Amino acid sequence: MRTPIIAGNWKMFKTAAEANAFFAEVKGKAEVEGVESVICGPFTTLPALTEAAKGTAIAIGAQNVHFADNGAYTGEISGGMLQELGVSYVIIGHSERRAYFAETDEIVNQKVHAAFRHELKPIVCVGEQLEEREAGKTKDICTTQTTAAFAGLSAEQAAQVVIAYEPIWAIGTGKSSTAADAEDVIAAIREVVAGLYDQATADAVRIQYGGSVKPANIAEYMSQPNIDGALVGGASLEPASYIALIEGA
């Protein structure tokens, strides 16, 4: 059985002091047996978050990692730097990074490998734009992005990847995919993993839905057999809302 995973993506919100205040409110509450709770903060919040999370069931994630282990990459952060802090997860290939920072499928794959070199579990984002959905290309896009992200991974590594299916038109817009539509695409993504590896690996991979998930709709998504949790932006920023998401899962 797959353990459901709810991950909050804070994007470029919260200072370290704000992260500490948030954590003090969710500690002991956003920790529910049988649900993995992950907070992905900006880099500057990670020392505070990893320190605060010690001894709790809340895992801490980053929102990006560089593909190289070190080098002349001004302004970048490596997997080793995150590992040293005690970070457990890293979001890779979020659509905002693909759109604003020119991250290609190849770069996403390199970052996935960098994550594994440093014992970070990747949360790999895939998903289509509105025009692609309207053109009936959703599953093709997700297949291409998933296949590229997994290139060169062993089955053992593949089973540890978390995929976040995030239709781009649903991110931060208040327009969410129906649970049935999300289930349909996520089941197709699981088949892609089965084709790349085998059914056991596909059955082990956790696949989240992301796109305007909130406490009011989380249960609908979680009731679908292939949806193993959610990657949540806006609704993860307030402690009460984050706690409600974990409880709702």
3-state secondary structure of 113: helix
Contact mark string toward ligand PEP, 220..239, x via CB under 6 A: -----------xxxxx----
Question: Would you state the torsion angle of the CA atoms of residues 173, 178, 181, 182, taken in this order, to the nearest 10 degrees?
Answer: 70
Whether the CB-CB separation of 47 and 85 falls below 8 Å is answered with yes
CB of 11 to ligand PEP, least distance (A): 6
213 scored as a contact of ligand PEP (CB under 6 A): yes
Residue 233 known to bind ligand: yes
Beta bridge partners of 7: 38, 231
Q: What are phi and psi of 9, to 5 degrees?
A: -105, 105
Residue 10 known to bind ligand: yes
Binds ligand PEP by CB under 6 A, chosen from 50, 208, 212, 226: 212
Q: What are phi and psi of 94, to 5 degrees?
A: -55, 145
Binds ligand PEP by CB under 6 A, chosen from 108, 120, 148, 171: 171
CB of 209 to ligand PEP, least distance (A): 9
Binders of ligand PEP: how many residues, by CB under 6 A? 14
**Which listed range, 23-31, 42-50, 149-157, 211-219, lies at the site for ligand PEP (CB under 6 A)?**
211-219
* Token pair of 91 as six digits: 């979001």
Rounded CA-CA distance 127/141 in Å is 7
The residue among 66 and 98 lying less far from ligand PEP, judged by its C-beta, is 98
CB of 121 to ligand PEP, least distance (A): 17
122 scored as a contact of ligand PEP (CB under 6 A): no
Per residue, what are the HEC states of 87-100?
A: CCEEEECCHHHHHH
Residue 212 known to bind ligand: yes
CB of 245 to ligand PEP, least distance (A): 10
243 scored as a contact of ligand PEP (CB under 6 A): no
Query: What positions carry a catalytic annotation?
Result: 94, 166
9 scored as a contact of ligand PEP (CB under 6 A): yes
Q: What are phi and psi of 89, to 5 degrees?
A: -125, 160
The residue among 9 and 201 lying less far from ligand PEP, judged by its C-beta, is 9
145 scored as a contact of ligand PEP (CB under 6 A): no
Binds ligand PEP by CB under 6 A, chosen from 61, 122, 167, 210: 210
Direct distance between the N- and C-terminal alpha carbons of the chain, in angstroms, rounded to an integer? 15
3-state secondary structure of 220: helix
The residue among 164 and 197 lying less far from ligand PEP, judged by its C-beta, is 164
Q: What are phi and psi of 247, to 5 degrees?
A: -65, -40
Beta bridge partners of 8: 39, 232
Beta carbons within 10 angstroms of residue 123's beta carbon: 29
Which residues would be at the binding site for ligand PEP (CB under 6 A)? 9, 11, 166, 171-172, 210-213, 231-235
